[in-house]
Amino acid sequence: MNMPSGVDISQYKTQAKDLLKQARAASPAALERIRAHHPELGIPFIVDRLLLSDAQLIISRENGFSSWARFKDYLLFRNAVDALDTGDLVRLTRMLDDNPSVLKYRCNCGDWYEDGYFAGAMLLHHIAGNPIRCQLPSNILEITALLLERGANPNAVCGKPPRSTTIGLVITGKQVSDAGVAVALIDLLAKFGASVEALQEPDMLTLPLWNCGLGTARALAARGAAADLRHFAGLGNSERVYELLRETPQHDLIERALIYAVVHNHLDIVEALLQAGATGDRLVAPSVGITERTALHEAANRGHREIVDLLLSRGVYTGVVEPQWGGTPAGWALHGGHDEIAELLL
């Protein structure tokens, strides 16, 4: 749908008043807008009997909404998101005072909101900065506390199945990981009743490690989150990797661990895993729900030149085609914008 050109409700109130004046003056353009977006009036209609509510309905429909009330709710939500994104705690507090229902609003209009894991997101879901829309405000903990204190549902989900909770968005969020606030946000959400069941899953660390959340993964690991060779390889915990390799793990696990080390560019661990029998050109699924690829695919896509050179020096086969997109490592390098690496692999 066409997105509204702004989020200031006063501009649309002014547009409605202007439309009403133009219609009463028999402006052809205004009358055509009425015919197109308010056919219930019938033709011919009496312009002197047009109401401001009629003009507001037309403005709403022109912006993709079925009523002025729904359009207003959307604009209030967008303004609340803007206050959150800019860290304007005073403005956000005032908005919640005046319109507490904004906490229950679900957005289904615009990028991110219509499809995918963020579809139908509520205001609280935005505190994770996932998807990345703008810079994360420095007072995100205070903002989150305000939303929760005002009654935001910490267990509300968004997105298409499998759905996302706010904690789930935090666990997989890059911005909160880089800012070092993910665990504090999780604790705050849990304090207000958020389920922490996801944190007990044996493969939980895969989520942050596979979504650029290395800081979050390290913080959760320090708290005792379950981890195996793959996770320690991604975390860069060489001591634990060496210990586990001495236990002679299955070759498949070593190959999957190699991909985790490659993703996070841990060259020393890559070398250790290669010495332990990993090849770098074997198709493996790093975890449940992640399609097969090789370590070379990941190194090429992410531009990790030293790892690519190391794998090539070990005689890695460069022609493996992964099954989801039918891409070779060279194709993945091109997709990642690493033309020089692609040339090495062709």
Local confidence band at 49 (pLDDT 50, 70, 90 cut-offs): confident
Residue 224 lies inside a defined structural domain of this protein: no
Whether 39 is covered by a domain: the verdict is: yes
Could you tell me what percent of the chain has a pLDDT over 90? 87
Question: Is 278 within the bounds of a domain?
Answer: yes
Q: Which of 50, 66, 82 delimits the end of a domain?
A: 66
**Domain identity same for 28 and 83:** no
pLDDT band at residue 44 using 50, 70 and 90 as cut-offs: low
Question: What sign results for the dihedral spanned by CA atoms 129, 133, 138, 144?
Answer: negative
Identify whether 222 is part of a domain.
Answer: no
What per-residue confidence (pLDDT) applies to 198? 87
pLDDT of residue 26: 86
Provide the pLDDT for residue 41: 80
For residue 8, the model assigns a pLDDT of 84
pLDDT (mean) for 318-325: 96
Reply yes or no on whether the pLDDT at 40 is more than 90.
no
In the chain, alpha helices (H):
9-24, 28-37, 52-62, 68-85, 89-98, 140-149, 166-171, 174-179, 182-191, 206-209, 214-222, 229-235, 238-245, 251-263, 267-275, 295-302, 305-313, 329-335, 339-345
Which pLDDT score, from 0 to 100, does residue 45 have?
A: 65
Tell whether 183 and 235 lie within a shared domain: no
Close Cβ partners of 234 (under 8 Å, ≥ 6 residues apart): 205, 209, 214, 217, 260, 261, 263, 264, 266
Using alpha carbons only, give the angle 163, 167, 171 rounded to the nearest 5 degrees. 95
- Report the chain's terminal Cα–Cα distance, integer Å: 42
263: in domain: yes
User: What span, in angstroms and rounded, lies between the C-alpha atoms of 345 and 329?
Assistant: 7
Adjacent-strand bridge partners of 293: 284
Maximum Cα–Cα distance across the chain: 87
> How far are the Cα atoms of 100, 215, 250 from residue 238, in angstroms, in the given order?
50, 16, 18
- The verdict on 287 and 336 lying in the same domain is yes
Q: Is the pLDDT of residue 42 over 80?
A: no
Based on the fold, state whether residues 79 and 200 are members of the same structural domain: yes
pLDDT band at 48 (very low <50, low <70, confident <90, very high): confident
Band of pLDDT at residue 2, cut at 50, 70 and 90: low
From the list 149, 187, 146, the residue with the least C-alpha distance to 166 is 187
The answer to whether residue 44 is domain-embedded is: yes
Residue 81 sits in a domain of what CATH number?
1.25.40
Average pLDDT over residues 64-71: 95
Among 296, 271, 303, smallest CA distance to 281 is for: 296
Task: Select the more confidently predicted residue: 92 or 6.
Answer: 92
pLDDT of 4 over the 80 cut = no
User: Contact at 8 Å (CB) between 329 and 321?
Assistant: no
- My answer on whether 136 and 252 are in the same domain is no
Query: pLDDT value at position 66?
Result: 94
Contacts of 125 (CB under 8 A, 6+ apart): 118, 156, 158, 164, 166, 169
Q: For residue 241, what is the domain's CATH number?
A: 1.25.40.20
Mean pLDDT of the chain: 94
Domain count along the chain: 3
Q: In terms of residue numbers, what domain contains 257?
A: 229-345
196 and 297 fall within a common domain: no
Tokens of 306: 């030293």
Question: Which range has the top average pLDDT, 51-55, 62-66, 214-218?
Answer: 214-218
Per the CB < 8 A criterion, the answer to whether 154 and 124 are in contact is: yes
End-of-domain residue from the set 66, 87, 115: 66
Q: How many CA atoms lie within 13 A of 154 on its CB side?
A: 20
> DSSP string of 178-202?
HHT-HHHHHHHHHHTT---GGGG-T
Q: Is the pLDDT at 3 greater than 90, yes or no?
A: no
Q: What is the pLDDT of residue 116?
A: 94
Is 213 contained in some domain? no
Q: What is the pLDDT of residue 220?
A: 97
Q: Do 61 and 75 share a structural domain?
A: no
Arithmetic mean of pLDDT, 301-319: 97
Q: Using one digit for the tens of pLDDT, what is the confidence trace for 239-264? A: 999 999 999 889 999 999 999 999 99
CA–CA dist 85, 133 (Å, integer): 9
Q: What is the mean pLDDT of residues 264-284?
A: 97
Peptide bond into 162 cis (omega under 30): yes
181 shares its domain with 289: no
Domain shared by 13 and 112, yes or no: no
d(CA 145, CA 188): 7
What pLDDT does residue 173 have? 97
Domain check: are 270 and 339 in the same one? yes
Residues 77 and 19 in one domain: no
> Do 107 and 176 belong to one domain?
yes
Binning pLDDT at 50, 70 and 90, where does residue 129 land? very high
Residue 297 lies inside a defined structural domain of this protein: yes
- Which of 170, 204, 238 corresponds to the end of one domain? 204
